[in-house]
Structure 1
């Protein structure tokens, strides 16, 4: 959490951490408790990352890029599909019959989303926004991830202003629940 640099460096580092979690999931013994722990860690990282992007990155995309509304809408739709899969995965143990299928679907969605951001969105943003804006966004993203939820909440609105109001409370409740259950420890 919180790597430093501008928004593109911050989010790219998050992407590599997610890649590593998927690799660890692939290498964990099928049906093992370790696979469930890794799925929980992956969920925590993806939810925090997505909430921060929706609060700060996508509003900047709308503001600084030609066609930014369509780009942001597409990225948010990607997040909704990922969040629905995370919610479904959250209720599964590693030995459940759907666990591996959900992980595969999640990886497919996340990999496509990351590739789109890194090959299309990030270069456009680097070109369309001043370096100061990118640095400021990096800091805002890091701060948002500190209080963001750690569990999927697919029914919450995709509106950045509402998210900024709700996310800290949801995040606090999620972290309290994680502490009590030992999730993510």
Structure 2
């Protein structure tokens, strides 16, 4: 099965196909990872913030729009999406820990290295295995229709890690509205604080983070989750 990584756009359903949109995000992801590794201090933090605003809406749109379709139309879709949900869960947990870690410290570098390894593995799992099967299962019109729905969800999705919320509908869908409002408010405050250090902006962002943490723990937001999504070592878990 041929990876979608370098296939022509017309073979993937056209420029508005969900496969092309996903691949475009993956290219930007690689660019931001490289930029974050090469920068330090405030510039690095700005790049990591941009990375979050790409990674989490992208993953949320995939989990909400694409994975349910894949589980219906791809023969091994359940197993493949579960593997990727596990990767997404680990990325959420590691980014949550990264937010609490001193920037430019050895611990921060170690955590970020783990995150980038997982992000790159996630891209390969999608482009080399999952998406070629989706391409074979759907026609161009269906891929374009999914592309527009995926884009709409991506533009209105949370932009921060939320490891407690379900990786599947309906829990993640129910969490979207309150967490998106909070996350995007924090994004604005954090950008302000990076441009001109402000204790007030930092405190407001921390308060919103605490609010988001409380919302995450509302029981209904876990509905739909596969319990084994939280298995930490995904590859060894599948081998056992």
Shift of 1:88: 1.1
- Unmatched runs of 5 consecutive residues or more in structure 2: 1-14, 196-240
Whether 1:170 and 2:179 are equivalent positions in the alignment is yes
Shift of 1:145: 1.2
Aligned to 2:75: 66
Shift of 1:143: 0.6
Considering only aligned residues, what root-mean-square deviation do their CA atoms show, in Å? 1.7
Aligned to 1:77: 86
> In structure 2, what is the Cα distance between the partners aligned to 1:89 and 1:159?
24
Number of residue pairs matched? 180
Which of 60, 63, 80 is 1:54 aligned to? 63
Structure with max Cα Rg: 2
Shift of 1:84: 0.9
Aligned to 2:207: none
Whether 1:20 and 2:37 are equivalent positions in the alignment is no
Shift of 1:140: 1.1
Shift of 1:108: 0.6
Q: What's the CA shift string for 1:140-185, capped at 9, x where partnerless?
A: 1111111111111100012222222221221111111222232798
**1:54–1:158 contact (8 Å) kept in structure 2:** yes
Shift of 1:132: 2.0
Aligned to 1:144: 153
Aligned to 2:123: 114
Structure 1 segment 23-42 matched on structure 2, within 5 A: 23-29=34-40, 32-42=41-51
TM-score (ref. length: structure 1): 0.91
> In structure 2, what is the Cα distance between the partners aligned to 1:158 and 1:143?
18
